[in-house]
Amino acid sequence: MVDNTIYFLFQEDDAPGTFEWPNEQPEANENEMYMMTVPKSFFVGIEENEVALNFELSQPYPNPAATYAVLNVVLQENSHVMVNILNATGQSVYFSDMGNLRKGSHQLRLNVENLPAGIYHCSVNVDGQAASRKIMVR
Question: How do the domains of the chain map onto residue ranges?
Answer: 5-42, 55-137
Q: What is the pLDDT of residue 22?
A: 55
For the domain 55-137, what is the CATH code? Answer: 2.60.40.1930
Helices (DSSP H) in the chain: which residue ranges?
none
Of 111, 106, 107, nearest to 96 by C-alpha is 111
Confidence (pTM): 0.64
What pLDDT does 57 receive? 94
Answer whether 135's CB lies under 8 Å from 62's CB.
no
**φ and ψ of 16, to 5 deg:** -65, 145
Residue-level pLDDT, tens digit, the chain, 138 residues: 456 777 777 666 665 555 555 555 555 555 577 777 877 766 665 555 556 888 999 999 999 999 999 999 999 999 999 999 999 888 999 999 999 999 999 999 999 999 999 999 999 999 999 999 999 999
